[in-house]
Amino acid sequence: MRVVIENISKTFEDGTGEHIEALRDINLSNEENEFLVVVGPSGCGKSTLLNIVAGLLPATSGKVVFEGIPDESRPHTAVVFQEFALFPWRTVERNVVYGPEERGLPRKERQEIARYYIDLVGLTGFEKKYPHQLSGGMKQRVSIARALANDPWLLLMDEPFSALDAQTRTIMQGELSQIYEKTQKSVLYITHNIQEAVFLGDRVAVLSRRPGRVERIIPIDLPRPREEHIMLEPKFLSYVDQIWQHIRGQAMEALTEEKP
């Protein structure tokens, strides 16, 4: 299984009828079991790209192709959103089984799936809690479990830890890394955080600012399993620095430019 993003471009029309080019000619591929991170300054259209891959937004031109999918019994993608997007009227367990429910799996199988993924994200004992009773980090774990429970070919993550505080974020990065190593999912991960990109990614695609173009693709040659302490290693830091040098100038531009 391989996901190919071919010549994707996206142009929005803003309220005044002006055209804003968000993405230009994006070419990327997500190999099987690969953790691909897209990193870029604010306004580079990285979330737009994820929404296009998820089928939640039409591209202006180009296409996204899933190659080598044997049958259509499993969904192509599942998304973990920055805003968690948990259904507030469903308990943890009922959130997690939402996808299997929509796929019409029998109750018993759904329960097993829920138990497995709730355990995987370390939320056993919280099955009957409602989202408003959970902390931000726990909410995002539910959201990850919910996406994985639908067993997608490609897991899409849209800045999943941006709404969390720095400490929780560090912990969640470590946990996600473990979950990835355990499940061997293909992941497309969007972030503006360079450390996070290097820590999680097999490859990091750096997007430029508006219009978003793939500036560089940097393979991250760090051993797995990765743990927090690798963030202190010189090799890790040199990757971070390398990417920062690419983004820095554009991030400065983003800072001073007016909102479109």
Provide the binding-site residues for other proteins, judged by CB under 8 A: 54-56, 75, 77-79, 81, 83, 85-89, 98-99, 102-103, 130-132, 146-147, 150, 156
Q: Which is nearer to other proteins, 56 or 65 (CB)?
A: 56
Least distance in angstroms from the C-beta of 22 to other proteins: 18
Least distance in angstroms from the C-beta of 250 to other proteins: 27
Q: Which is nearer to other proteins, 150 or 191 (CB)?
A: 150
Q: Which is nearer to other proteins, 143 or 191 (CB)?
A: 143
Q: Which is nearer to other proteins, 4 or 85 (CB)?
A: 85
Least distance in angstroms from the C-beta of 234 to other proteins: 39
Least distance in angstroms from the C-beta of 19 to other proteins: 23
Least distance in angstroms from the C-beta of 137 to other proteins: 18
CB 39 within 8 A of CB 192: yes
Residues, the chain: 260
Tally of CB atoms within 10 A around 139: 21
Gap between the Cα atoms of 60 and 171, Å rounded: 38
Distances, alpha carbon 235 to alpha carbons 165, 200, 220, 222, 226, in Å: 26, 14, 10, 8, 13
Q: Which is nearer to other proteins, 81 or 117 (CB)?
A: 81
Q: Which is nearer to other proteins, 149 or 194 (CB)?
A: 149
Tally of CB atoms within 10 A around 95: 26
Least distance in angstroms from the C-beta of 88 to other proteins: 5
Q: Which is nearer to other proteins, 49 or 198 (CB)?
A: 49
CA dihedral 127, 133, 134, 140 (to 10 degrees): 80
Least distance in angstroms from the C-beta of 242 to other proteins: 33
